[in-house]
Structure 1
Amino acid sequence: MDGMNATPAHRAGFACFVGRPNAGKSTLTNALVGTKVAITSDRPQTTRHTVRGIVHRPDAQLVLVDTPGLHKPRTLLGERLNDLVRATWAEVDVIGFCLPADQKLGPGDRFIAKELAEVKRAKKVAIVTKTDLVNREAVAQQLMAVDRLGRELGFEWAEIIPVSAKSGDQVELLADLLAPLLPEGPDLYPDGELTDEPEQVMVAELIREAALEGVRDELPHSLAVVVEEMTPREGRPADRPLIDVRADVYVERSSQKGIVIGPKGARLKDVGTKSRAQIEALLGTKVFLDLHVRVAKDWQRDPKQLRRLGF
C-alpha cells in the first residue's frame, strides 16, 4: 500500500477563543484571519456578537467564532451572555483558552478552566498569548502552569502553544496545530468570505468600539449601538458610490449621554470620524454617517429593550 503519498483529507470546522477580558482573543482572531473582524478594545466584554473570522488554508478551513467573555453574571444581560457562551462551546470543534504570558494564572482563569473541564465534545487548546511582553523563561513557567491547571481539573490539553499576535510570532504555527483538530470535510464557507456576520452588525460593532475608546469606566456595559439603516445614496455615479448609515448609540442614563457626546459634541464627532474610517475600510466605499445618542433606561435589565437591541 502506498498510503504515504495520499493527500491528507481536507478538514473544516469551528473554533472559538476564550479567556479573561484582555487575554488577547480578538487580536489573535485578527492575526489569524489577517483582516480586522473582531473588535479589539482593552475593556472587558466588548465582544457581544458572534463575529466569525475565517482562516482559509489549502488543507483546512477554520471558522473562528468570537464568544463574549464568560463572567459571574450580575444582570440579565450577563446571564444571557453566559448562556450564549455555553451554547457556543457545545457546538464548536476546538476551544482555544487564551492566557496572557505576562499575568499569573488567577481565579478568573480557573473559573473558565473549570467550565472547560465540563465540555465534552470540543478539543481544548491552551494558548499563551502576548509572549512579546516577557522573556523566554517566563513563557516556559506559564506553559508549565497551564499544563498543571489542566491536570488538576482532570483533562488534557490537545496542544499548549505560546504566541504573540502582535509580532506575528507562532501565529502560523497555531493555525498548523488547529487544522488537524478539525473534523474531515469540505469548506463550510465558499472561498474568500472572511465573515458571515451581517454587515450591519459589524458596522454597529465598529461604532461601539470607537464610542468606548477613552471613555471612563462607567460606560462599557451600558453602551449598545443599533444601525437603523444602511442604504446606497441615489443618483451617485457608479464609480463613486456613497452609503448612508444611520445609527443610534444607546446609553442607560442621560448623564452617560453627556459623556458620549462630550463638550460641544466634540467626542461624538470624534467617534464619528474614527468609526467612519473603519466602516469605509470594511465596506470599501465612502460612507455618510449619521449618529444619534439616545437614552434607553436600564436596558440591560429589561427583556423588551434587550430584544430590541439585538440581545
Structure 2
Amino acid sequence: MSETTGFRCGFACLVGRPNTGKSTLTNALVGQKVAIASSRPQTTRHTIRGIVHRPDAQLVLVDTPGLHKPRTLLGERLNDLVLTTLGEVDVVGMCLPADEKTGPGDRFLAREIARVRSRSTFAIVTKADLVGKARMVERLVSVQRLGEEIGIEWDEIVPVSAKTGFQVDLLADLLVARLPEGPPLYPEGELTDQPEEVLVAELIREAALEGVREELPHSIAVVVEEMGLREDRPPDRPLLDIHANLYVERPSQKAIIIGTKGRRLVEVGTKARQQIEALLGTPVYLDLYVKVAKDWQRDPKQLRRLGF
C-alpha cells in the first residue's frame, strides 16, 4: 500500500472583492504571514500561494487580487489573473464580509464562479467578529440567496474570523475534505512558493501603504534591486543587505512617501525591516529609494519592468 494512500493534496483559491479579508485569512490558515494585508483595497497584486501542512493533507492556498472594475491596464491584468486562477484549482472560496451587504461586485464575481461548474465552491463569510448573532444570521441568509440568484449551489457556507481564529480550523478541515488524494507537492516546512525577493518587496509595499492618502495605494510598486549577505561578516553575525526602489507615478506622491525631512521614509524602512527580519530570521540592512515612473499603471513597458 502506498504511503500516501488517504493523503490529500490540492489547491484552494480565495476570491472576492477588494478588502474582503482574503490575505488575512490566508495568513491565519497558514499560521504565518505569507500575504500582505492592509485596510486599503487592492493591496494584493500577485497570486500568493500559502501552504498548509497537516498529517493528513497539504492544502495550497491561492490568494488572488480583489476583482474590481478596472481603470488602468494594471487593473485589467489583475482581473485576468483572478479569472484564470478560478479554472486551475480544486476548491473556490468566495469571501464575503459579514459587515457588508451583497453588492454588484459580488454578483459579478459569483457569475464568473458559476461558469466554473466542476469545482467545489464555498461561501466564506469573513470578519465574523465585527457583527452580532442576529446580523450574522441575516448575512448567511443573504449569501444563500446570492447562490440561488446566480445558480451556485454552495458546498459550504462558513462564517470565520481570521482576527480571532473563529472557525479557521473548521474551514481548513472542510477545504481539505474537498481535495483529491495524492502526495504532497511541497517539502515539509515550506510555507509559500514565492521567491524571497517578492515577499520582501511586498512587505516594503505594505509598510509604505500605512496611513497614506487615498490616491496613493494603487500607485506604489516596489522592486528589490539587490539582496544578499554582506561578505565581510562572521558566520555567527550575518547581515542581509537589501536595496529596493519604491516607484510612484508623480513627484507629489514621492513627497508623500518621503515625508517631511525624510521622516516618513525612515518609518517605512523601520517597519519593513522588522517584518523582513521576522520573516527571514536574519538581521537586515534595508536601503530604500523613492523614484517616479510616470503613469506606470497604464504603460505596458513599465508594467513589464515592474513585474506585472
2:210 is aligned to 213
Q: Does 1:103 align with 2:118?
A: no
The answer to whether the Cα contact below 8 Å between 2:15 and 2:82 also exists between their aligned partners in 1 is: no
Of 268, 271, 283, the residue aligned with 1:271 is: 268
Aligned pairs for 1:38-117 (under 5 A) are 38-117=35-114
Deviation (angstroms), 1:8: 7.0
Q: Deviations over 1:170-226 (max 9, x none)?
A: 110001100011111111111110011000000000000000110001111111000
Distance 2:129 2:69 in 1: 30
Map of 1:235 onto structure 2: 232
Which structure 2 residue ranges, 5 or more long, are not aligned?
Answer: none
**TM-score scaled by structure 1?**
0.96
- Using the alignment, how far apart are the partners of 2:67 and 2:18 within structure 1? 9
Moved over 6 A (4+): none
Aligned length: 305
Matches within 5 A, 1:1-311: 9-311=6-308
Q: Would you say the 8 A contact 1:50–1:197 is kept in 2?
A: no
Tell me how far 1:253 sits from its aligned partner: 0.6
Residue deviations 1:19-39 (CA, integer Å, cap 9, x gap): 122211111111110001110
Tell me if the contact between 1:55 and 1:62 (Cα under 8 Å) persists in the aligned partners.
yes
Q: How far apart, in 2, do the equivalents of 1:30 and 1:130 lie? A: 14
1:3 is matched with which residue?
A: none
CA–CA separation in structure 2 for the residues paired with 1:8 and 1:139? 39
State the SS of the aligned residue for 2:153.
Answer: coil
Q: Find the aligned partners of 1:153 and 1:8 in 2 and give their Cα distance.
A: 37
Q: Sequence identity, in percent? A: 74
Cα distance between partner residues in 2 of 1:85 and 1:133: 27
For 2:66 and 2:182, the matched residues in 1 are separated by: 29
CA distance in 1, matches of 2:194, 2:186: 12
Q: Distance in 2 between matches of 1:170 and 1:198?
A: 30
CA contact (8 A) 1:23 1:100 kept: yes
What CA deviation, in whole Å up to 9, does each residue of 1:77-100 have, x standing for no partner? Answer: 111111111111111111111111
Distance 2:78 2:19 in 1: 17
Structural RMSD (CA): 1.2
State the Cα deviation string for residues 136-195 of structure 1 (Å, max 9, x = none): 121122111111111111120111111111111111000110001111111111111001
Q: Secondary structure at the match of 2:42?
A: coil
What is the SS of the residue equivalent to 2:62? strand
How far is 1:105 from its partner? 1.3
Letter in 1 for 2:193: D
State the TM-score, normalizing by the size of structure 2: 0.97
Within 2, Cα distance between the matches of 1:247 and 1:10? 41
Paired residue type of 2:172: A
Structure 1 spans left out of the alignment, 5+ residues: 1-6
d(CA) in 2 for partners of 1:144, 1:253:
46
Which residue type is aligned with residue 116 of structure 1?
Answer: I
**Aligned counterparts of 1:51 and 1:82: Cα–Cα separation in 2:** 15
- Mean alpha-carbon deviation: is it higher for 88-97 or for 118-127? 118-127
Report if the CA contact (8 A) 1:68-1:81 is conserved.
Answer: yes
Shift in Å, 1:60: 1.1
Q: What secondary structure does 1:125 align onto?
A: strand
